[in-house]
Amino acid sequence: MPGVPLRELPTDASKPTTDQGPGNYEAMQALTRELAFNPAGWTPELLTRVTELFDALAPEWHTRAGEERLRPLRDVLRRGGVPKGGVCAEIGSGIGLQTALLLEHFDFVVSTDLSAEMLARTPRSGSVALVRADACRLPFPTGTLDALVAVNMYLFPAEYARVLRPGGRVVFVSVYGERTPIYLPAADVVRALEPALRPSDAVTSGYGISTWTVLTKGGS
């Protein structure tokens, strides 16, 4: 059975992202690809190493804030066919740099992150739940979320598909495009998600150098 066609929208380059991202990203990209197609590679040892890495980065994570980082997410929420309202899981939320923007689009956001140090620095809001969680084993019942947003975050296809309701969206954003450490090209995002998500639609585009892909879970 042929896969769902990937629709490509024109890239919005009206205000190109100027930050070209980190210079050392090849190893992390290789890990991102491995996990997308072989989740068994997410071992307890690797989980511990990644948690410790982001705990250590948490005190300076605020330096990454700013409109440059938010423009790709604004673009995908505007043009990517993501319905407003409902419940969104923000995966790898960090210190909540994009949470307020998600709250403008969704009714309720559950922000999840491996790092307790990141979550401890996240502003509190009545419309946001902060949950320390492993994205490979999300603490949500099957088929309950309207959207799952992953900005510069690993892809765990079976788990992301499990927690979404039919018609729910996976939103995968790479802020620095091909220079994002945690990055997959759109075709690979679709190929990784397709077996579990059985998508009814897939669309990709970008803002400046950023890229984003949105898949709609199939079924009824």
pLDDT digits (tens, 9 = 90+) for 23-39: 568 889 999 999 999 99
Instruction: Please state which CATH number belongs to domain 21-216.
Output: 3.40.50.150
Neighbours of 178 (CB within 10 A): 12
Domain boundary assignment for the chain? 21-216
* Residue 78 near residue 206 (C-beta atoms within 8 A): no
pTM of the model: 0.93
Say which amino acid occupies 51.
T
End-to-end CA gap in the chain: 19
**In which band, very low, low, confident or very high, does the pLDDT at 69 lie, cut at 50, 70 and 90?**
confident
- Which residues, 6+ apart, have CB-to-CB distance to 12 below 8 Å? 75, 79, 205, 206, 207, 208
Question: The tokens of 209 are what?
Answer: 């150098």
Q: In angstroms, rounded to a whole number, what is the distance separating the alpha carbons of residues 48 and 32? A: 16
Mean pLDDT calculated for residue range 83-104: 96
